[in-house]
C-alpha cells in the first residue's frame, strides 16, 4: 500500500519561530543565574515591535529588552529594510509572578513532592527510518531549513534574508520511505536577485545536498512558488510563541500531546516530560526492540506520579509491548523532579532547542537524545523472553 506523508519546517527568521527563540533566550538568561526560577514566557512580534508577557518568579534580575535585542541580532534582523532592526525595535515587557495557587502544587515541601507544573499528555516518538531516529519527512524538512540558514549565515548565498520555509512529501511503500514526491522551499531574498538565479542556487546549494539520495525523476520541486519573497518576517506576518507545535515535535505523522515547549522552565511537564518521552522511545528503538515506538505520559497539576504511561510499537516489537512498558517504568524516572535531575534540565540550554530543533539533534546538552539505556533495555527484555 502506498501513502504520502508530509512535514514542514521553518527558519529562525520565521516570525513564529523567532518568538520561540526569544522566549527561550529569556528563559536561558534567567535560569543561568537562578536554576530554580519559574518561567512561563510568551513573545509576540509584528513590524517594528516585540511584546513579552508571562509569569516569572525568580530571585535574579534580567534586562529582558537587552536579551531580546541581542537575540534578534543573532537571528539576522539588523536592518530597517527587513521590517525589524535590533537597534530600533520597540520592546514592551509585561511580566507578573507565577500564581501562588499553581506554585503550592509544584513546590517541594516536607509534606509534598514536587508536582507537575500543569496537566496534559506528553508524546515521545522514535523510528528507524533515519540515523537520528526520526520520521524521514520531518528529518528532511529540518535539514533543509538548517541548510538555508547555513548558506545565508555563511553568505554563500548573500542575497538571502532570515525568513524561510521548507516542506517535504515522501512516498511510502509498505510503510517504508521510497522517494520524495514533492519538495517546497520558500526563501526570503533581497529585491535585486533574479528568480532564475535564486531557483538555480537553492536547488544546487540546498535541495540537492540534503535530499539527493531521495530525489527521483518523479519528484516535483517548487522554489518560491509565488515568484517573489522580498517582504517577510514580522514585516509580513505577526509571530507568536508556541504556534509551531507540530514542527517542534515529529511532524503530522505523530500526534502532538501537550502544549508548546518554548519559554517554559522544566517544572512544566509540557517540556520536560516530552523530552523524557523522546528519551524512552529513542532508547527502545535503538535497543532493537521495535522499529517504531510512541510513548504517552500524562500528568495532573501538582501531582508527582504520572496519571498514565503507555507505549505503542505499532506491531513492530520483538517482545510484548507490556514487557517493554514494565522495563521502561523500572529504568526511566517519570516524576517531574526526577526527570529534571536525570536529564540535567536546570541549565541554560533552551535557546538551542528552539533554534536547532528539540529532537534529532545529537549534541551533549540535549541529554534526551542519548541512547545510553539501550543495552540495558535490550538485556532486560531478552533475558525475560528467554
Burial (Cβ within 10 Å: 0-12, 13-18, ≥19) of residue 132: middle
Residue closest to 222 by CA, chosen among 15, 6, 16, 77: 6
Dihedral class, residue 344 (left if φ above 0, else alpha if ψ from -120 to 50, else beta): left
pLDDT at site 302: 84
pLDDT at site 13: 97
Give, in words, the CATH class of 2-10+136-232: alpha beta
Contact predicate 295/124, CB 8 Å = yes
C-alpha cell at 148: 538555508
pLDDT at site 102: 58
Residue closest to 152 by CA, chosen among 144, 143, 142, 162: 162
pLDDT in tens, 224-241: 999 999 999 999 999 999
C-alpha cell at 145: 531549513
Q: Which residues partner with 49 through β-bridges?
A: 46, 90
Whether this model's pTM surpasses 0.85:
yes
b/e map 76-89, b = 16+ CB within 10 Å: bbeeeebbbbbeeb
Question: What is each CA distance from 282 to 15, 164, 239, in whole angstroms?
Answer: 31, 29, 32
Helix/strand/coil (H/E/C) assignment for every residue in 268-283: CHHHHHHHHHHHHHHH
pLDDT at site 112: 52
Residue closest to 363 by CA, chosen among 353, 373, 354: 353
For residue 241, the number of C-alpha atoms closer than 13 Å in the C-beta half-sphere is 27
Q: Which pLDDT tens digits describe the chain residue by residue (386 residues)?
A: 899 999 999 999 999 999 999 999 999 999 999 999 999 999 999 999 999 999 999 999 999 999 999 999 999 999 888 889 999 999 999 999 876 655 555 655 544 567 677 788 999 999 999 999 999 999 999 999 999 999 999 999 999 999 999 999 999 999 999 999 999 999 999 999 999 999 999 999 999 999 999 999 999 999 999 999 999 999 999 999 999 999 999 999 999 876 899 999 999 999 999 999 999 999 999 999 999 999 999 999 888 899 999 999 999 999 999 999 999 999 999 999 999 999 999 999 999 999 999 999 999 999 999 999 999 999 999 885 55
Q: Which residues fall within 8 angstroms of residue 206, CB to CB, at 6 or more apart?
A: 144, 147, 148, 151, 185, 187
DSSP for 328-365? HHHHS--SHHHHHHHHT-SSS-HHHHHHH-SSS---TT
Contact predicate 282/315, CB 8 Å = no
Count of residues in the chain: 386
Helical (H) or strand (E) element with 172: strand 160-173
Question: Which CATH architecture fits 120-128+269-385?
Answer: 2-Layer Sandwich (3.30)
pLDDT at site 17: 98
Q: Domain map of the chain by residue range?
A: 2-10+136-232, 120-128+269-385
pLDDT at site 152: 97
Distance CA 58, CA 141 (A): 37
Domains 2-10+136-232 and 120-128+269-385 equal at CATH topology level:
yes
Whose grid coordinates read 554563500? 156
For residue 84, the number of C-alpha atoms closer than 13 Å in the C-beta half-sphere is 32
Contact predicate 51/137, CB 8 Å = no
pLDDT in tens, 259-311: 899 999 999 999 999 999 999 999 999 999 999 999 999 999 888 899 999 99
Burial (Cβ within 10 Å: 0-12, 13-18, ≥19) of residue 218: exposed
Q: Which residues partner with 169 through β-bridges?
A: 6, 182
Amino acid at each position: 500500500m502506498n501513502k504520502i506523508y508530509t512535514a514542514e519546517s521553518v527558519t529562525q527568521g520565521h516570525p513564529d519561530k523567532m518568538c520561540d527563540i526569544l522566549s527561550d533566550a529569556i528563559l536561558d538568561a534567567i535560569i543561568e543565574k537562578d536554576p530554580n526560577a519559574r518561567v512561563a514566557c510568551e513573545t509576540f512580534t509584528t513590524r517594528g515591535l516585540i511584546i513579552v508577557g508571562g509569569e516569572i518568579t525568580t530571585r535574579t534580575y534580567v534586562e529582558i529588552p537587552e536579551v531580546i535585542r541581542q537575540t534578534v541580532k543573532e537571528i539576522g534582523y539588523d536592518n530597517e529594510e527587513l521590517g525589524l532592526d535590533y537597534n530600533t525595535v520597540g520592546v514592551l515587557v509585561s511580566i507578573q509572578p507565577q500564581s501562588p495557587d499553581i506554585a503550592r502544587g509544584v513546590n517541594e515541601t516536607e509534606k509534598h513532592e514536587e508536582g507537575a507544573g500543569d496537566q496534559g499528555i506528553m508524546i515521545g516518538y522514535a523510528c528507524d527510518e533515519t540515523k537520528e531516529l526520526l520520521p524521514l519527512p520531518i528529518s528532511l524538512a529540518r535539514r533543509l531549513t538548517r541548510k538555508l540558514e547555513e548558506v545565508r549565515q555563511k553568505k554563500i548565498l548573500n542575497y538571502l534574508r532570515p525568513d524561510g520555509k521548507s516542506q517535504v512529501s515522501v512516498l511510502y511503500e509498505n510503510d517504508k520511505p521510497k522517494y520524495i514526491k514533492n519538495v517546497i522551499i520558500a526563501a526570503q531574498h533581497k529585491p535585486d536577485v533574479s528568480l532564475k538565479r535564486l531557483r538555480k542556487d537553492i536547488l544546487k546549494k540546498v535541495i540537492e545536498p540534503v535530499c539527493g539520495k531521495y530525489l527521483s525523476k518523479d519528484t516535483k520541486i517548487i522554489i518560491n512558488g509565488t515568484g517573489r519573497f522580498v517582504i517577510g518576517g514580522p514585516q509580513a506576518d505577526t509571530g507568536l510563541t508556541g504556534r509551531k507545535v507540530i514542527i517542534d515535535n515529529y511532524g503530522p505523522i505523530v500526534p502532538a500531546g501537550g502544549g508548546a515547549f518554548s519559554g517554559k522552565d522544566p517544572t512544566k511537564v509540557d517540556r520536560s516530560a516530552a523530552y523524557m518521552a523522546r528519551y524512552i522511545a529513542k532508547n527502545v528503538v535503538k535497543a532493537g526492540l521495535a522499529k517504531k515506538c510512541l510513548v504517552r505520559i500524562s500528568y495532573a497539576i501538582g501531582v508527582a506520579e504520572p496519571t498514565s504511561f503507555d507505549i505503542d510499537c505499532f506491531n513492530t516489537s520483538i517482545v510484548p509491548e507490556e514487557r517493554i512498558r514494565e522495563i521502561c517504568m523500572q529504568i526511566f524516572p517519570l516524576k517531574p523532579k526526577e526527570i529534571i535531575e536525570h536529564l540535567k534540565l536546570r541549565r541554560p540550554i533552551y535557546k538551542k532547542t528552539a533554534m536547532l530543533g528539540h529532537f534529532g539533534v545529537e549534541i551533549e546538552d540535549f541529554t534526551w537524545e542519548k541512547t545510553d539505556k539501550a543495552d540495558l533495555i535490550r538485556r532486560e527484555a531478552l533475558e525475560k523472553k528467554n
